[in-house]
A and B are shown apart, each in its own frame.
Chain A
Amino acid sequence: MTLSDLWVSFPLVVLVGGTLILMIGVSIVRTHRLALGLTLLALILSLAAHDISLDHITEGGYELFGLLNVSGVQVFFNALFLLGATVTALFAYPYFDARVERCEEFYILLLTATAGAMVVAAATHFASFILGLEILSISLYAMIAYPRQSHPPLEAAAKYLVLSAVASSAILMGMALTYTATGTMAFAEITLSPESGERSYFLLGQALICVGIAFKLSLVPFHMWTPDVYQGAPAVVTGYVATVSKGAVIALLITYVQSTDVLSYDGVFYAVVFVAVASMIVGNLLALLQTNVKRLLAYSSIAHLGYLLIAVLVVNTARPELVLETILLYVAAYFIITLAAFGIVNLTSEHETEDNEQLEAYAGLFWRNPLLASILTAVALALAGIPLTVGFIAKFYVFAAGVEGTAWALIWALLIGSAIGVFYYLRLIYTMVKEVQPGATALPRIGTQSVVAVTVLGLLIVVLGVYPTPMIDMVRSIVQSSGF
């Protein structure tokens, strides 16, 4: 291990070190405020440490121990994870403070999950992939079940535990089969030599890995867990599951597709096309039927991951730079929008009861709290991909990538999906502008830091939607430096 190895892995080291300090700290003094402070410090220091590691990363990325590869793309994803975790911590403080007796361990889990996400995002080897994935998933089980006195989180955690374990075993089995066929576990070496007789093992292995990834990304037909888990988990955790855990798998998907070129096998390609189209159509259609905002957002996220897959699918027909640019922009936009959405759900929730998740509970929000309602309107418009919001820029890029890759069938699915989507996003907006219902209770008092966090997210949605140049320039320079 050289010194520059250390510098490149420094952000991860800082994060893990922070986790240890927090763990020891919590066992000595139990103060919620201190735990939050240490967590935020660890997250911000880890973010700052990326600045150091960037100096040592060369074009094409820096190879770490044969397990990880850190390039600009990974730094980008890590920054998103850390910011997502920061927002989650800020929202979690008032949420758990009012509901749960001992909240400090939540932050330990938050930090380990984020570390797991960073490992997954940088993985170039089956070993690091599965290790990272399990660190992430196991932390998530506990995070989902954290308000352990109430029933829905426990149910959601149990569901997620069982189904996620099945997906993990599918991935493991796929890895084993791939290893049988190719004799390697490093992504870059996974190719099927023409004379090899193990073609069926190889394809089956790839199929199983794809199933596992599709499960983690909640793509149709492996999406069954999503609405239940989104609904049952506390809103803060749902926001984290929807963003960081999916973002990590997307980053892995980029590396995997790029280094194994798995999409050049027709069978795999058309299977993924099917998954993408099904996600766009089914996700949007089922979202139409929801009267629960968390479930609605769950189905909407299924559809959005389907849109994102369009960019992945044209990797061999469009310019690779455009593909990568699209994915990064889309993920960044999706992070901002989703965190804001669950932030609002969280902020409008009463302390004693379950989360504020029924659509009807949002009736008249425009007149009760114009600020939160405006932000949620921006969120809904962004999810629908209407201009003025960052969601439009993201969707525009997907259209552009699809057109350049001449993927017309996928574009039609995107059009149909968006058309259905407008319907239920508008219904959410319409609910908010309705008259306040007679029996409506006052909104809970909202802490300053949460309001600031959600306002910043709301502003980002609009500002980056109107003037996306800084974001596009940043992503473009990352793409150029990564040598994709």
Chain B
Amino acid sequence: MTILYLILFLLGAGLVACLVERTNANAPRWISLFAFIIATIWTGAIWLGGADPETGFYVTGELSWIPALGINVLLKVDGLSLVLIGLTTILGVIAVVSSWSEINVSRGFFQFNILWVMAGVIGVFCAYDLFLFFFFWEVMLIPMYFLIAIWGHEDRSYAAMKFFLFTQVSGLLMLVAIIALVWINYANTGVITFSYDELLNVELSGTVGSLLMLGFFIAFITKLPSVPVHTWLPDAHTQAPTAGSVILAGILLKTGGYGLIRFTVPLFEEASRDFAFVAMLLGVISILYGGYMAYSQSDFKRLVAYSSIAHMGFILVGVYAFNELGMQGAIVTMIAHGFSTAALFMMAGSLQERLHTREMSQMGGLWVKAPRMGAMTMFFVIASVGMPGLGNFIGEFLVLLGAFKVNVPLTVLATVGIVVAAVYGLSLMQRSFQGTPNAQVATMQDFGFREMSVYAIMIVALVWIGIYPQHVLDLAQPTLDALGIAL
């Protein structure tokens, strides 16, 4: 039940943060910060507690919910879930700190939304009941919608609407697929159940399997996002407040990758194998298209947003390579991208706070005035480009290794994407931090202790994954073994 308590703890902290705003306007962010720190320690404790050697789960929880429909609150945490929950709680801390001075209206409700969206995401990462999974999947949308719609930038209404609409509609397709799957199982066995483990055994005919698989697949690649359902992402990321972008890029996109690994592939193995080429092709297109679009942006935040599409393409390629290397690569990419992109979005937020613009043409020569910011940007751009020794390299390299075994031409094209990444990454660096200083820059303040300590966390994480990825690989390995598919 620990994991349920963790979710309830974050939800409760959200309510408290919302209510104390009346008495103390600064209290909500402290409450939120401590809640995420406690949650991180909590997750660490679960990790240290070790997995049950028989089942491979760290913690499990089960509670009757809607017995009439065979729906239970069924939560299980295995290695993959644990890594992603850890990422969630750490990025929670980072999101709160990154928005420390940015938010001045209704701080309580702001922290409420951050805490609730994170609670929803943790639920997504450990739900083993498909109804519960869908429940969390949709629930995390609402607070995210508010984050963009209330505290976003100039075009927030449009961006928030687009974000919600894309995810909700694709989610409905998944809902229909879930119900159809459950009812097929009901027709076969006479039992209505939404339990993941039971539904793994459903026998599906070719066409039905493919259709249901598509229902899940579309929902997940919309979230991931992949071409052609990616158009919500540049708007949502650009318009969201810094904390919103950090959460979106760092965590919410990963729920799509997680869904593919946990649900689409094991539930519809045969259909997924038949579909693998198309999925990999979509991944490669995303890599190249995302890179190309990123290069042509003049808005700092939009550039990073498009680069996310490119990086997420690697996840799609890795998962559908259908081998251990590819899957492991996808998982490592998820974690590494979570940190590197969160850092870059934070940087965009800090720049906007100081310069009141995201246009790179208004920047230039920032390094002179703010060497710490420059160094940090350099580090995370390099990480994002895929420098060996840092987390992203490991992930993308493993994906390419896995994909090479399956389809050489697509792998070659995906590799070109890494070159493109170097081009847009370095151009971002040059346009904003190098060159002749702009007049506005004269008064710019460099990072203080608060910002630097947050970046330090992310640097440590990326170096750790980059130099010794075995920790993440070991955590994810049992999950891949247990998926029940031959890799």
Q: Which of B171-179, B398-406, B479-487 contacts A (4 or more CB under 8 A)?
A: B171-179
**Is the CB–CB distance between B175 and A396 below 8 Å?**
yes
Contact string, B94-110, partner A, CB cutoff 8 A, digits 1/0? Answer: 00000000000010000
Contact segment of A5-13, A71-79, A398-406, A452-460 = A398-406
A469 at the interface (CB under 8 A from B): yes
**Would you call A269 an interface residue if the criterion is a C-beta within 8 Å of the partner chain's C-beta atoms?**
no
Q: Could you tell me if A433 and B69 are in contact, using CB atoms closer than 8 angstroms? A: no
30 contacts between A and B (CB under 8 A): A367-B106, A386-B142, A388-B139, A388-B142, A392-B138, A396-B175, A399-B175, A400-B179, A403-B180, A415-B169, A415-B176, A418-B169, A419-B165, A422-B164, A422-B165, A422-B168, A422-B169, A423-B161, A426-B145, A426-B160, A426-B161, A426-B164, A426-B165, A429-B145, A430-B157, A430-B161, A433-B146, A433-B149, A468-B66, A469-B68
For B464, list chain A residues within 8 Å (CB).
none
5 extra interface residue pairs, beta carbon distance < 8 Å, beyond A396-B175, A403-B183, A422-B164: A384-B168, A387-B139, A403-B180, A411-B176, A423-B165
**With an 8 A cutoff between CB atoms, is B135 at the interface?**
yes
A464 nearest CB across to chain B (Å): 11
Q: Is B134 part of the contact surface with A, judged by Cβ < 8 Å? A: yes
Contact between A430 and B168 (Cβ–Cβ < 8 Å)?
Answer: no
Q: Which residues of B contact A403 (CB under 8 A)?
A: 176, 179-180, 183
Per-position 1/0 for A461-477, Cβ under 8 A of B: 00000011100110010
Q: Are A399 and B179 in contact (CB under 8 A)?
A: yes
**Which residues of chain B are within 8 angstroms of A468 by Cβ–Cβ distance?**
66
Instruction: Report if A381 contacts B (CB, 8 A).
Output: yes
Instruction: Report the Cα distance A316→B165, complex, angstroms.
Output: 34
Inter-chain contact B172/A418, CB cutoff 8 Å: yes
| A contact residues around B176 at 8 Å (CB) | 399, 403, 411, 415
**How far apart sit A411 and B178, CA to CA, in the bound complex (Å)?**
14
Contacts of A429 in B (CB 8 A): 145, 149
Contact pick for B160, options A411, A419, A430, CB 8 Å: A430
The answer, among A419, A433, A467, for a CB contact under 8 Å with B150, is A433
In this assembly, does B65 line the interface, its C-beta being within 8 Å of a C-beta of chain A? yes
**Can you list the 10 inter-chain pairs with the closest CB atoms, starting with the nearest?**
A419-B169, A387-B138, A387-B135, A472-B68, A403-B179, A433-B150, A403-B180, A403-B183, A422-B168, A399-B179
Query: Smallest CB–CB gap between B193 and chain A, Å?
Result: 13
Q: Tell me the B residues contacting A by CB distance below 8 Å.
A: 65-69, 106, 134-135, 138-139, 141-142, 145-146, 149-150, 157, 160-161, 164-165, 168-169, 172-173, 175-176, 179-180, 183
Residues of the A chain whose Cβ atoms lie less than 8 Å from the Cβ of B146: 433
Asked if B183 and A400 sit within 8 Å, CB to CB, the answer is: yes
User: How far is B165's CA from A436's CA once the two chains are assembled, in angstroms?
Assistant: 25
- State A202–B138 Cα separation when bound (angstroms): 48
Beta-carbon nearest neighbor of A404 in chain B: B183
- Give chain B residues whose Cβ lies under 8 Å from the Cβ of A381: 142
Set of chain A residues within 8 Å of B172, measured between Cβ atoms: 415, 418-419
- Determine if A472 and B157 form an interchain contact, defined as CB atoms under 8 angstroms apart: no
Q: How far is the CA of A426 from the CA of B146 in the complex (A)?
A: 10
Q: Which of A367, A384, A467, A476 contacts B68 (CB 8 A)?
A: A476
User: B437: shortest Cβ distance to chain A, in Å?
Assistant: 36
B392 to chain A, nearest CB (A): 34
Q: Whole-angstrom distance between the alpha carbons of A426 and B145 in the complex?
A: 9
In the bound complex, residues from chain A placing their C-beta under 8 Å from that of B65 are 467, 469
Give the nearest-CB partner of A401 in chain B.
B179
Q: Give residues in A with beta carbon < 8 Å to B.
A: 367, 381, 384, 386-388, 392, 396, 399-400, 403-404, 411, 415, 418-419, 422-423, 426-427, 429-430, 433, 467-469, 472-473, 476
Contacts of A367 in B (CB 8 A): 106
Q: Report the Cα distance A422→B135, complex, angstroms.
A: 17
Given the complex of chains A and B, what is the CA–CA distance between A476 and B68 in angstroms?
8
Q: Which residues of B contact A422 (CB under 8 A)?
A: 164-165, 168-169
Distance (Å) between the CB of A161 and the closest chain B CB? 40
Instruction: Say which residue of B66, B106, B135, B173 sits within 8 Å of A472 (CB atoms).
Output: B66
- Within 8 Å CB of A388, what residues of B? 135, 138-139, 142
Contact A469 B164 (CB under 8 A): no
Kindly report which residue of chain B lies nearest to residue A469, judged by CB atoms: B66
State A430–B165 Cα separation when bound (angstroms).
Answer: 13
Report yes or no: A419 in contact with B168, Cβ–Cβ below 8 A. Answer: yes
Residues of chain A within 8 A of B173, CB atoms compared: 415
Distance, CA A399 to CA B67, complexed state (A): 18
Chain A nearest CB from B142 CB (Å) reads 7
A328 vs chain B, min Cβ distance (A): 13
Q: How far apart are B419's CB and chain A's nearest CB, in angstroms?
A: 39
Contacts of B141 in A (CB 8 A): 386
**Please, which residue of chain A has its CB at the minimum distance from the CB of B192?**
A400
| Residue of B134, B141, B173, B175 with most chain A CB atoms under a 10 A cut-off | B175
When distances are taken between beta carbons in the complex, the residues of chain A under 8 Å from B68 are 469, 472-473, 476
* Residues of chain A contacted by B160 (CB below 8 angstroms): 426, 430
Collect the chain A residues with CB atoms within 8 Å of residue B168's CB. Answer: 384, 386, 418-419, 422
User: B108 CB to closest chain A CB, in angstroms?
Assistant: 10
Question: Would you give the shortest CB distance from A285 to chain B, in whole angstroms?
Answer: 15
Q: Which residues of A contact B165 (CB under 8 A)?
A: 419, 422-423, 426
CA distance A392 to B131 in the complex (A): 12
B69 and A387 contacting across the interface, CB-CB below 8 Å? no
Nearest Cβ on chain A to B426's Cβ, whole angstroms: 39
Inter-chain CA distance A411–B183, complex, in Å, is 15
CB-defined contacts of B169 to chain A, threshold 8 Å = 415, 418-419, 422
List A contacts of B138 (CB < 8 A).
Answer: 386-388, 392
CB of A224 to closest CB in B, whole Å: 29
Bound CA span A214–B172, Å: 28
Which residue from chain B places its CB closest to the CB of A431 in the assembled complex? B157
Residues of B within 8 A of A472 (CB): 66, 68-69
Nearest CB on B from A387, distance (A): 4
Q: How far is the CA of A433 from the CA of B109 in the complex (A)?
A: 11
Q: How far is the CA of A468 from the CA of B164 in the complex (A)?
A: 25
Q: How far is the CB of B222 from chain A (nearest CB, A)?
A: 13
Q: Which of B67, B134, B161 contacts A387 (CB 8 A)?
A: B134
Report A396 CB to chain B, min CB distance, Å.
7
Q: CA–CA, A371 to B93, complex, Å?
A: 29
B344 CB to closest chain A CB, in angstroms? Answer: 28
In the complex, how many angstroms separate the beta carbon of A148 from the nearest chain B beta carbon?
Answer: 41
Q: Is the CB of A430 within 8 A of B149?
A: yes
In whole angstroms, how far apart are the Cα atoms of A473 and B183 in the complex?
Answer: 20
Q: How far is the CA of A388 from the CA of B135 in the complex (A)?
A: 8
Q: How far is the CA of A225 from the CA of B381 in the complex (A)?
A: 61
Chain A residue at smallest Cβ distance from B167: A422
Residue of A nearest to B146 (CB): A433
Contacts of B150 in A (CB 8 A): 433
Quote the shortest CB–CB distance from A303 to chain B (angstroms): 15
Q: Which residues of A contact B164 (CB under 8 A)?
A: 422, 426
Distance, CA A345 to CA B138, complexed state (A): 27
Give A476 to B69 CA distance when docked, in angstroms.
Answer: 11
- Interchain CA distance A425-B173 in the complex, whole Å: 19
Contacts of A384 in B (CB 8 A): 168
A88 CB to closest chain B CB (Å) equals: 30
| Cα–Cα, bound, A476→B192 (Å) | 15
The minimal Cβ–Cβ distance linking B139 to chain A, given in whole angstroms, is 5
CB distance from A193 to the nearest CB of B (A): 36
Complex Cα gap A415–B218 (Å): 14
Q: Which residues of B contact A392 (CB under 8 A)?
A: 138
A418 to B173 CA separation, bound complex (whole angstroms): 11
A182: min CB distance to chain B, Å: 37
Docked complex Cα distance between A468 and B106 (Å): 32
